[in-house]
Amino acid sequence: MLLWFFIISLIVIIIQLAVINQKAEKIAGMIAGKERSELANLIRLRDAGILTEEEFQQKRKEYESWIAEKGHSDERKALEDLHEKGLLSDEELNKKLEALEKVKGRGEGISGIDLAEIKRRTSYKDAICYAERTPDSWICICGTENKLSDRHCRKCFSNQGYVLENFTKETLWR
C-alpha cells in the first residue's frame, strides 16, 4: 500500500514538473520570438494560462506607465499597438491620438532657453511646455491636462502649486 502511494506521488510530481517545463518553454519561445511589444507577450502569456487576468492587468498597467515615461512617439506606437491587439476601438484610438496631438502641440511656441531653464530647475528632463492654469484645469510642464482639484500631475506627479507659481510663461524668469 505504501509502495503504491509512493508511486502515485512520484507520477504526480513528474506531471507537475512537465507542466512547469512546458510553461517555461512557452515563455522562452515568446522572448526568443522578439514580439513587437511587451504587451503582445503579456497577452500571449495570459492566453496561454501562464498569467492570471489579475496579473495581466497589473503588468499591463506597468507597461503603460513605462511607455508613458518614454515619450510621445512611443505613446503613439503603444496606442496603435493596443488598437492592433483589439484593446482599443477605432473611435477610442482616434480620440486618444487627438489628445496626444493636443499634448504635443502644447510645446510649440516655447523657446529652447525657457524649456532648458524649466528642465534645469525641476530636474524633469521630459518637460515640454510652460505650466498653465485654465478656467477648469491646469496644464503641467509635462503637457498633461489635470483637474483643478488634482494637487499633483497624474503623469509626472509634479506639484500643482509649485509648477503654477514658478513655470508659467509669466513666472518663469521672476
**Spatial distance between the Cα atoms of 69 and 81, rounded to a whole number of angstroms:** 17
Provide the sign of the torsion angle of the four alpha carbons 146, 80, 35, 23, taken in this order: positive
Report the pLDDT value the prediction gives residue 151, as an integer from 0 to 100.
93
**Spatial distance between the Cα atoms of 45 and 1, rounded to a whole number of angstroms:** 41
The strand ranges marked E within 6-136 are 132-133
Report the pLDDT value the prediction gives residue 36, as an integer from 0 to 100.
45
Containing 9, the helix (H) or strand (E) segment is helix 2-32
Report the pLDDT value the prediction gives residue 166, as an integer from 0 to 100.
92
Report the pLDDT value the prediction gives residue 35, as an integer from 0 to 100.
39
**Spatial distance between the Cα atoms of 110 and 141, rounded to a whole number of angstroms:** 11
Per-residue pLDDT of the chain (174 residues; tens, 9 = 90+): 778 888 888 888 888 877 676 665 655 554 444 434 577 777 778 888 887 888 888 877 777 666 555 555 567 788 888 888 888 788 988 888 887 777 777 777 777 888 888 888 888 777 888 999 989 999 999 888 999 999 999 888 999 999 999 999 898 888
Per-residue buried b or exposed e for 122-153, using 16+ beta carbons within 10 Å of the residue's own CB: bebebbbbbbbeeeeebbbbbbbbbeeeeeeb
Q: What's this model's pTM, rounded to 2 decimal places?
A: 0.48
Report the pLDDT value the prediction gives residue 34, as an integer from 0 to 100.
42
Q: What are the sequence ranges of the domains in the chain?
A: 21-105, 112-166
Largest CA distance in the chain: 88
| C-alpha grid cell, residue 123 | 530636474
The separation between the first and the last C-alpha atoms of the chain, rounded to the nearest angstrom, is 88
